[in-house]
Amino acid sequence: MQPGATQPGLVGAIRIDVRRLHDTWMELAFPRQLDAEDTIIGRWRPETTLQRVAYLAWSALGVPLVAVFYPLLLLGFFVRFNATRLDSATTRLGVVGVVGVSILAWGALSAVAWLRNFPLDGVVALVAASVVATVSAALGVVFARVGGRGTSVLLAYPAGVTALFLPPVVAALYSPTLAGVVFPGSRGLAIWLLQNVLFVGGIGDLLTARFDLQGIGYVAMWVAISVPLGWVLGFVVTLADVIRPKRDETSGSSAGF
């Protein structure tokens, strides 16, 4: 941001983001579309009639796609905002620190449950959940540190989501009280997914015929949900990095959300 320049405000920030999102789409088919205005060569423009027709057609095709992807971009800003702070904390702690904090927190919770004479199955549930949460959190940190963006999207985000979703499911396997809450909700979600998402190609019917949603089946279900959900979160954060790089947020070149 140049000295003396003013921030664009919310409407101005939306316009900047939408334009950059459309420029990113144009960059997929034509050279020098994104961040080319201030370069010496400048933005590439079509010269022949055929090029102009193709350019306009591709641009028009990108308009509805921008409308679809902009809400995902906003989600990416939100996820990145929180992921950056979490990453800063895990960087200071390191893998050993993250494991230690997880063990301390879950161990203290298990100890309180034991001292208050919770049923044995409840204490076992907490211990099982702590193991799942600790391993998943440690894997998320390791994957985030190794291999760059691709590894983060493919492995780190799914591990982080698993650390969030899986512990209560594992705990429910040992706690009838928790099972009465977790399993009916999981079954309702599974039915909705089978009927509204996995109906394509008969995938839902295949899963219904081959798998029983009981016991360890709930764990498998949430692992199956955590992985693609982690990929989606990783994708929207990557999209946010492309459209509004982090340096833009710190320099104030566009309004934050």
Residue 65 pLDDT > 80, yes or no? yes
Most trustworthy range by pLDDT among 130-134, 162-166, 195-199, 224-228: 224-228
> Per the structure block, which two tokens stand in for 180?
């009465």
Q: Identify the residue whose tokens are 């039915």.
A: 191
What is the C-alpha to C-alpha distance for residues 129 and 179, in angstroms, rounded to an integer? 13
> Which of 23-27, 175-179, 194-198, 206-210 has the highest mean predicted lDDT (pLDDT)?
23-27
Given a contact cutoff of 8 angstroms between Cβ atoms, the answer to whether 144 and 87 are in contact is yes
Asked whether residue 147 carries a pLDDT value surpassing 70, the answer given is: no
Helix or strand or coil: residue 40?
A: coil
Mean pLDDT of 177-201: 82
- Whether 79 and 85 have beta carbons less than 8 Å apart is answered as no
Distance CA 33, CA 26 (A): 6
Q: Per-residue confidence at 239, pLDDT binned at 50, 70, 90? A: confident
What pTM did the predictor assign? Answer: 0.69
Q: Which of 103-117, 193-207, 225-239 has the highest mean pLDDT?
A: 225-239
Q: What is the pLDDT of residue 91?
A: 67
* Widest distance between CA atoms in the chain: 81
Whole-number Cα distances in Å, 176 to 4, 76, 138, 179, 200: 63, 37, 29, 5, 35
Residue in 141, 163, 182 with CA at minimum distance from that of residue 226: 163
Pure H helices in the chain? 9-27, 49-115, 120-145, 148-151, 157-172, 176-196, 203-210, 216-243, 246-251
Q: At what angle do helices 157-172 and 120-145 cross, to 10 degrees?
A: 170
